[in-house]
A = this chain, B = another copy of it.
Amino acid sequence: MERKRIAIVGIGLIGGSMALQLNANGIASNIIGVDASPAHLQKALALGLIDEAMDLDKAIANCDVIALAIPVDKMIEILPSILDKVNDKQVVFDMGSTKHLLIEAVRNHPKRKRFVASHPMWGTEYSGPEAAVKGAFENKAVVICNASDSDEDAVAMVRFIYKKIGMHQIEMDAYAHDLHAAYISHISHITSFALANTVLEKEKEDNAIFELASGGFESTVRLAKSNPNMWVPIFRQNRDNVLDVLNEHITQLKKFKACLEKENYDYLLELIENANKIRRIIK
């Protein structure tokens, strides 16, 4: 396939990592960065993530493909106006963590079919262009949602890009995606935020506690460093699913609490043995 001019809107953790992969795989002839932050654009140029910085309208006018990697509330705000400006050859796709409301927002847009909704399942707790990671998406899953609502050539282009950067692809309805994302990604962030707040609450009384922080603690709490401006809109857009999972999680925690209160250590052993079944899933 001929190399494409690709605009990346939002040149932070996800957009920057995508830029690195596109560069490494020879998919793009030019990578154009668009970002609300001039400092981010300067950094992205300095790091060699992008070839050129442009404002959004100029980037739309000059690119074959427009990839969106901005917080999901901003995504809903600007996707309709981007679609207003694309022609029947251009392709727009997003890389956000929620899908249903975004797809709803452009359901009746005359250019809906030029848009492909996707979610590459990778991230870290860091943000900004300096957080970009080379090879980040390799061997990870990407979900493509409601593909039948997009033009075939647009889906083919997005599939081509994700294939070239090494992701395995899953098609899924937007509702199913959002439910699964709540279980696989969103709840992990809430538990980490809450665990950090639990320990920080304690730290007020006792500073010595952190001299001891160990590997297990770092691993479970590292997501608590994640950017609130990215995560509040995700939780907001996926509120019902996140609430369901959070209620289930609190129920599960209360089982551990009840075991300890009642000194029922046989049941505690059972709960942990059941949790061990996660070995089937994560190696």
Q: How many residues of A contact B (CB 8 A)?
A: 91
Residue among B200, B256, B257, B276 making CB contact with A225, cutoff 8 Å: B276
Smallest CB-CB separation from A121: which chain B residue?
Answer: B214
Smallest CB-CB separation from A246: which chain B residue?
Answer: B257
CA distance A143 to B209 in the complex (A): 12
B252 touches A253 (CB 8 A): no
Contact A198 B140, CB 8 Å, known A224-B278, A228-B276: no
Q: Which residues of B contact A189 (CB under 8 A)?
A: 216
CA distance A140 to B213 in the complex (A): 9
CA distance A253 to B236 in the complex (A): 16
| Chain B proximity of A121: nearest CB distance (Å) | 4
B180 touches A245 (CB 8 A): no
Contact A248 B188, CB 8 Å, known A193-B256, A221-B282: no
| Chain B proximity of A93: nearest CB distance (Å) | 18
Q: Which residues of A contact B (CB under 8 A)?
A: 121-125, 140-141, 143, 170, 172, 176, 180-181, 183-185, 187-203, 206, 208-226, 228-229, 231-232, 235-236, 239, 242-243, 245-250, 252-257, 260-261, 263, 265, 268-269, 271-279, 281-282
